[in-house]
């Protein structure tokens, strides 16, 4: 491979992903500029930076449960005292 391309295994190691996940992204066309040469994938080194600039969806936490989360910690009942 050329110096400006990296292997899927190297990309997985740099991004701390599994190699299978990288191959799934390649098969789906989600890595910009990646191409298949024979039976090997050539990933441009610039793709690492492009993937870093993508915005990730914010984590949406579920609402607190009514049983324990809405009551302040010092006012919570002992689980043995609760009647469910």
Residues 37-54 pLDDT 10s: 999 999 998 888 777 555
pLDDT of residue 30: 87
Could you list the residue range(s) of the whole structural domain that residue 32 is in? 5-52
75 inside domain: no
In a domain, 28, yes or no: yes
Q: Is 80 inside any structural domain?
A: no
- In a domain, residue 35? The reply is yes
Number of residues written out for the chain: 84
The band of 73, judged by pLDDT with boundaries at 50, 70 and 90, is low
Domain membership flag for residue 60: no
Structural domains of the chain, count: 1
| CA triple 19-22-24, angle to 5 deg | 110
Domain membership of residue 58 (yes or no) is no
What is the Cα–Cα distance from 31 to 71, expressed in whole angstroms? 46
In a domain, 37, yes or no: yes
The pTM of this model reads 0.58
Mean pLDDT of the chain, nearest integer: 76
Query: What is the band of 13 on the pLDDT scale with cuts at 50, 70, 90?
Result: very high
């Amino acid at each position: 491979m050329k110096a400006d391309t990296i292997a899927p295994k190297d990309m997985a190691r740099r991004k701390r992903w599994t190699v299978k996940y990288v191959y799934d992204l390649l098969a789906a066309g989600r890595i910009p500029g990646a191409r298949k040469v024979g039976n090997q994938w050539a990933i441009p080194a610039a793709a690492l930076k492009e993937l870093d600039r993508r915005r990730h969806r914010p984590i949406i936490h579920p609402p607190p449960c009514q049983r324990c989360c809405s009551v302040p910690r010092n006012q919570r009942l002992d689980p043995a005292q609760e009647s469910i």
